[in-house]
Structure 1
Amino acid sequence: MTTVKNVFNSDHVINYDQNAEKVNWLDPAITFGMAYRFVKPGDRLLDIGIGTGLSSQLFHKAGLEIHGIDFSPKMLARCRSKQMAKDLKEHDLSIPPYPYEANSMDHAVCTGVTHLFKDLTPIFQELARILKSGGVFAFVVPDCQEGEAREIQVESRHSPGEKVTIFSHSIQDINNLLDLYGFVQIYDLLFEASAIGHRTAKYKAYVAHKN
């Protein structure tokens, strides 16, 4: 079984941006388009699983101050080379607490990450603490309907013959987390895109604000 840590600390990182472009990865543009009216220049944005920084680029261009957290030092080094982030921290997203003070960020974004989590509780729990009241959280999850499999194995693009596990999240799963941690959904958008294993899958983008 291919592990996530092996993939994101491998030579895959070198071509990460090019591969995202090849598959026409739309998550960053979609989340920015859904969230832009709620943000302004100078706001502090926390990118959860920032990777090489693709999800933050449009927010950076819009004048936001970018902060990022990721478990992969190689991905963070790639992001750091772009000189777009104010601060980058190495941390495993499955382990709270994250290294940020309470009420220290205005907004957050999370794309290309949630398919790695069977349980998204740590992310929502920590953002409920870190985000200021009224802050916006824009994120994308692989979508599934009630009764559909939430966990599937697909062939890795980076290690032929190896399998990776992908986790999907239903609208009820997300609504439960939003309610539990004090977020109110503003928008959602269902779309299809290329996924791991070169298959087409359904995704849902959400924008919510913290009470």
Structure 2
Amino acid sequence: MSLTATHRSSGDFRADRRYEYARAAFDERDFAAAADLARQVIELAPGFAAAHALLGRSLAMTGPQGEAVTALLQALELEPEDALGLRIDLARLGALEPGAAIADGYVRALFDGYAPRFEKHLTESLGYCGPDLIVEALRRVCATGSHPVHFERALDLGCGTGLMAKALQGAFGTMEGVDLSGRMLERARQSGLYAGLHQGHLTPFLVGRGEGEADLVIAADVFIYLADLAPVFRETHRVLKPGGLFVFTVQSHPGDGVVLGHDARYAHSETCLRELAETVGFTILVFERASIREDRGAPVPGFLCVLQR
């Protein structure tokens, strides 16, 4: 369980100050004190979702799981968009299906706060190399087909600050991107590389595209926030031209299906990815193990895939 800085103010100075004491106690792993202080905050500001969330997370660490779930559900009722990531806690406590753990509101809040330091942290601290791996895979595929690495129309799913467009600069005619985070899109816009940028979820964005309009669809390190990839795969297949390419990276695990990891990200199995690709009608050109970033200094297992319509 971890706290998020997305809590805003309760509107009561005394409650806010006590909430900060509760956060400090939680960070010091004094969960009993954190729970006691969180209850005091709730007495002062009953509608403060972050205090209910902190109470639930503290109780989850000290034992009374039923009370923890009640507190977390109360917080979710007060903050239904789930910027606080409450669904992840509820899934870990068995009160919610893992596939419903990561809400759009959580991802949006996470990356809105992350945007100013995103590129530096990702590339310098986490050793992120997803765009480079994708470009290298596309070069291999194009070399096999004896044609240049150039795509007239490309779509960048979960484009973030535009790292993918920068890595592919000069290899596409036009590229459009979509992301949940408005602040990430502001940074992508500054690159001047996108013909269009759209704020929203991947699937509705794809649904709104014309059939067979794209030569390339990219999803770099975005599927870690999606459990069910079937709608995205189906719509991607529809919007690609015959022979068009779908390239993506995912986090992986050695079992079956999809799991919610301790890092609050989804990991997909090789079997489920291959079956989904074949069911939708893709031809698998590249399917290989790859680590695109690190976690606490250790490579995170994943797959790099290139599919063709």
TM over 0.5: yes
Match of 2:272 in 1: 173
How far 1:183 sits from its partner (Å)?
0.5
Match of 1:139 in 2: 248
Q: Are the counterparts in 2 of residues 60 and 66 from structure 1 also a CA contact under 8 Å?
A: no
Q: Does 1:114 align with 2:217?
A: no
Q: Are the counterparts in 2 of residues 95 and 122 from structure 1 also a CA contact under 8 Å?
A: no
What amino acid does structure 1 have at the position aligned with 2:278? D
Give CA-to-partner distance per residue, 1:57-88, whole Å, 9 cap, x none: 22223244211111211111110111011111
Match of 1:101 in 2: 210
Q: Do the aligned partners of residues 40 and 191 (structure 1) sit closer, same or farther apart at CA in structure 2, a change above 3 Å counting?
A: closer
What amino acid does structure 2 have at the position aligned with 1:172? T
Match of 1:159 in 2: none
Q: How does 1:45-124 map to 2 (within 5 A)?
A: 45-95=154-204, 98-124=207-233
Match of 2:307 in 1: 208
Q: Does 1:192 align with 2:291?
A: yes
Match of 2:117 in 1: 15
Tell me the distance in 2 between the aligned counterparts of 1:67 and 1:97.
Answer: 11
Runs of 4 or more, structure 1, over 6 Å off, are: none
Aligned pair partner of 1:28 in 120, 126, 131: 131
Q: What SS class does the counterpart of residue 150 from structure 1 fall into?
A: strand
Greater C-alpha Rg:
2
Q: Are the counterparts in 2 of residues 191 and 202 from structure 1 also a CA contact under 8 Å?
A: yes
Task: Pick the structure with more strand per residue.
Answer: 1
Task: Pick the structure with more helix per residue.
Answer: 2
Tell me the distance in 1 between the aligned counterparts of 2:249 and 2:130.
Answer: 7
Q: What SS class does the counterpart of residue 168 from structure 1 fall into?
A: strand
What amino acid does structure 1 have at the position aligned with 2:253? C
Q: Do the aligned partners of residues 149 and 83 (structure 1) sit closer, same or farther apart at CA in structure 2, a change above 3 Å counting?
A: closer
Number of positions where the alignment pairs a residue of Structure 1 with one of Structure 2: 199
Q: Are the counterparts in 2 of residues 94 and 122 from structure 1 also a CA contact under 8 Å?
A: yes
**Percent identity of paired positions between Structure 1 and Structure 2:** 21
* Root mean square deviation, CA, Å: 2.1
How far 1:33 sits from its partner (Å)?
0.6
Give CA-to-partner distance per residue, 1:70-121, whole Å, 9 cap, x none: 1211111110111011111222125475321111111111112011011111
Match of 2:57 in 1: none
Q: Are the counterparts in 1 of residues 213 and 240 from structure 2 also a CA contact under 8 Å?
A: yes
Unaligned runs of 5+ in 2: 1-83, 86-105, 143-147
Relative to the length of structure 2, the TM-score reads 0.60
Match of 2:94 in 1: none
Q: Does 1:5 align with 2:108?
A: yes
Q: What SS class does the counterpart of residue 121 from structure 2 fall into?
A: helix
Relative to the length of structure 1, the TM-score reads 0.85
Q: Are the counterparts in 1 of residues 257 and 268 from structure 2 also a CA contact under 8 Å?
A: no
